[in-house]
């Protein structure tokens, strides 16, 4: 079975590239779709415009014909608004599963060529998650810079993560976790920087994000193995 893996779509964010998501869903043939965290930016449903809802509806429709795997990201459980018509049934723990009709998992074992790749969001390996206020201020600053100059914002974001060692730290901790549990490969998201590399014997991939170009995703099947793909504007 061919698997498509997307992460960090951030529906509800003004920077979510919904049309590119639809293009990939149209282009790729797959029997399993893994949404590897941060599918929505937050659970303020007022921020979901018609384009964001079209992606969610597409995922919900796909769940009827393919295996849909939903993995928790650090944004997926936040909430600051629940519509009155929800009557209290949507909470921080079940809003996205309720919308898509599938349970939310912490991680998933993907079998490719008789080997197990661990798929998880990766936020558990990010030490900045201990300081949510700092993270939120940084995101607001990034959004403001993006309005002025997208290329500058992207450059600053990449440099800040590299200077702070976050990209390498998340990669190294993910690889160490996979090695400790005996997995030959690990697939994460969270950092918004796509990667496909070997760290000693462990195959590490990061699926990037859908909030800035180039977007990225991963496919996996027994014929072609696990591959990273980029999508440009």
| pLDDT 10s digits, 135-193 | 454 454 445 545 555 565 555 555 555 545 788 999 999 999 999 999 999 999 999 99
pLDDT at 43 over 80: no
Which residues, 6+ apart, have CB-to-CB distance to 205 below 8 Å?
185, 186, 187, 188, 195, 196, 197, 218, 226, 228
Range in 14-23, 53-62, 129-138, 189-198 the model is least confident about: 129-138
Q: How confident is the model at residue 133 (pLDDT cuts 50, 70, 90)?
A: very low
pLDDT at 80 over 50: no
Q: Which comes out higher in pLDDT, residue 194 or 233?
A: 194
| pLDDT 10s digits, 1-39 | 999 999 999 999 988 999 999 999 999 999 999 999 999
Domains of the chain by start residue, with CATH: 3-231 (3.60.21.10)
Adjacent-strand bridge partners of 227: 219
């Amino acid at each position: 079975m061919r698997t498509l893996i997307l992460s960090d779509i951030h529906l509800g964010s003004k920077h979510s590239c919904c049309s590119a998501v639809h293009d990939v869903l149209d282009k790729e043939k797959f029997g399993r779709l893994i949404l590897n965290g941060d599918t929505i930016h937050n659970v303020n449903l007022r921020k979901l415009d018609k384009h964001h809802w079209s992606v969610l509806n597409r995922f919900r429709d796909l769940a009827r014909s393919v295996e849909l795997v939903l993995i928790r990201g650090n944004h997926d459980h936040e909430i600051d608004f629940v519509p009155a018509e929800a009557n209290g049934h949507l909470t921080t723990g079940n809003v996205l599963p309720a919308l898509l009709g599938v349970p939310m998992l912490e991680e998933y074992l993907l079998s490719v060529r008789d080997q197990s790749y661990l798929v998880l969001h990766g936020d558990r390996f990010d030490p900045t998650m201990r300081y949510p206020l700092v993270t939120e201020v940084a995101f607001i600053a990034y959004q403001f810079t993006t309005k002025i100059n997208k290329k500058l914002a992207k450059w600053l974001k990449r440099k800040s993560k590299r200077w702070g060692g976050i990209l390498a730290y998340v990669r190294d901790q993910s690889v160490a976790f996979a090695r400790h549990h005996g997995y030959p490969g690990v697939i994460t998201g969270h950092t918004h920087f796509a990667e496909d590399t070997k760290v000693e014997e462990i195959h590490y991939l990061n699926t990037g994000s859908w909030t800035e170009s180039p977007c990225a995703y991963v496919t996996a099947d027994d014929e072609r193995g696990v591959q990273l793909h980029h999508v440009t504007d």
